[in-house]
């Protein structure tokens, strides 16, 4: 396809510019979003099982007037039944947007390279950009700003941490991370994060890392596909548990975030997960709002919808009224 007609994709958060990222957060908070997917919908492919991602993205598509169609890995078989490229070509004829939750990131890249509609990374082993959108939306709602905030991530330097670090740099927030040896960012990842403009600090002691932070963030010590490492990781991460003592070291105004699901008692205690500083449920609900804002933004660029979003108060009826007037 011609480069001028190529759709925009979101495979990592810095596929956006900083201004585009902020625009998506603004669109996420529209109370009455235009029905840009009316008469169509989105196709969602899941190599990995999902609760928040599937539910939030399906609801976002529905709230934009579309029908979500979700397929499991067994039904799709990316690179087993059909190549990623063939699936990109196929599914782009069925909906206005494709979302895929995969293991290997290259599958998304290959799908996007041939798709005629936007491809959204719903999670890969390398990145989790839609989680970062929800995280930044939550932080902005908590503090009324993003610029100048300090976010400390305690735990495994994984795909969630990487995307969050990049996103923090894009909005002017600093990022600290404290991880046990063997579970830290490698030099390639740190270079990638710093290339996004992120002020990133790697700090061995989690109590030092959280001092003065505005938000403390953690994730599960072991994720899907890593259950066999559970005991090894529990021993390695034992000093990196977010408990009441660690939150006290951060200060009274800090908020706690977790992308969920939580292994209660491992990466965070019940007292923190359910405590007054926790924002994990608004954060989880913002997965839906930020996904809706993202798809609206794609529509604004003429990719995911029949018409663009004319502004923050645009509604689909305005476009219909204009078309009727032109035809009279």
Hey, which residues are catalytic here?
101, 128, 131, 219, 259, 287
The label of the residue with tokens 């500083």 reads 277
Cβ atoms of residues 298 and 17 within 8 Å: no
| Nearest C-alpha neighbor of 100 from the set 82, 76, 133 | 76
Beta pairing partners, 255: 215
Strand (E) positions, the chain? 41-46, 67-72, 97-101, 119-123, 150-154, 174-178, 200-202, 215-218, 255-258
Cα radius of gyration rounded to whole Å, the chain? 20
Burial tier of 182 (Cβ tally within 10 Å: 0-12, 13-18, 19+): exposed
Strand (E) positions, 240-325? 255-258
Phi, psi of 122 (to 5 degrees): -85, 0
Cα end-to-end distance, the chain, whole Å: 36
Cβ atoms of residues 121 and 10 within 8 Å: yes
What are the structure tokens assigned to 257, written together? 């975030």
Conformation bin of residue 120: beta by default, left when phi > 0, alpha when psi is -120 to 50: beta
């Amino acid at each position: 396809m011609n480069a001028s007609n190529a759709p925009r994709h979101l495979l990592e958060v810095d596929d956006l510019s900083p201004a585009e990222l902020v625009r998506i957060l603004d669109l996420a908070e529209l109370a009455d979003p235009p029905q840009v997917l009316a008469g169509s919908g989105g196709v969602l492919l899941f190599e990995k099982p999902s609760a928040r991602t599937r539910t939030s993205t399906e609801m976002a598509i529905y709230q934009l007037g579309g029908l979500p169609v979700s397929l499991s890995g067994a039904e799709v078989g990316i690179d087993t039944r059909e190549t990623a490229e063939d699936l990109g070509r196929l599914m782009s004829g069925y909906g206005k947007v494709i979302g895929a939750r995969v293991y290997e990131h290259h599958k998304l890249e290959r799908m996007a390279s041939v798709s005629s509609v936007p491809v959204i990374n719903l999670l890969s082993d390398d990145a989790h950009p839609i989680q970062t959108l929800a995280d930044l939306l939550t932080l902005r709602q908590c503090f009324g700003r993003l610029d100048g905030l300090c976010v400390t991530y305690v735990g495994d330097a994984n795909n969630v941490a990487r995307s969050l670090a990049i996103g923090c740099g894009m909005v002017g927030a600093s990022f600290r991370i404290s991880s046990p040896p063997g579970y830290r960012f490698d030099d390639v990842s740190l270079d990638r994060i710093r290339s996004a403009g992120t002020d990133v600090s790697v700090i061995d002691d989690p109590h030092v890392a959280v001092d003065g932070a505005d938000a403390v963030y953690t994730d599960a010590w072991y994720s899907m596909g890593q259950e066999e490492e559970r005991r090894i990781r529990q021993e390695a991460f034992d000093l990196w548990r977010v408990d009441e003592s660690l939150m006290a070291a951060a200060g009274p105004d800090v908020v706690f975030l977790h992308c969920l699901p939580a292994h209660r008692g491992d990466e965070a205690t019940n007292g923190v997960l359910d405590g007054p500083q926790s924002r994990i449920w608004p954060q989880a609900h913002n997965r839906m709002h930020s996904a809706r804002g993202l798809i609206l933004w794609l529509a604004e660029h003429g990719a995911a919808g029949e018409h663009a979003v004319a502004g923050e108060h645009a509604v689909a009826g305005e476009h219909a009224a204009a078309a009727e007037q032109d035809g009279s």
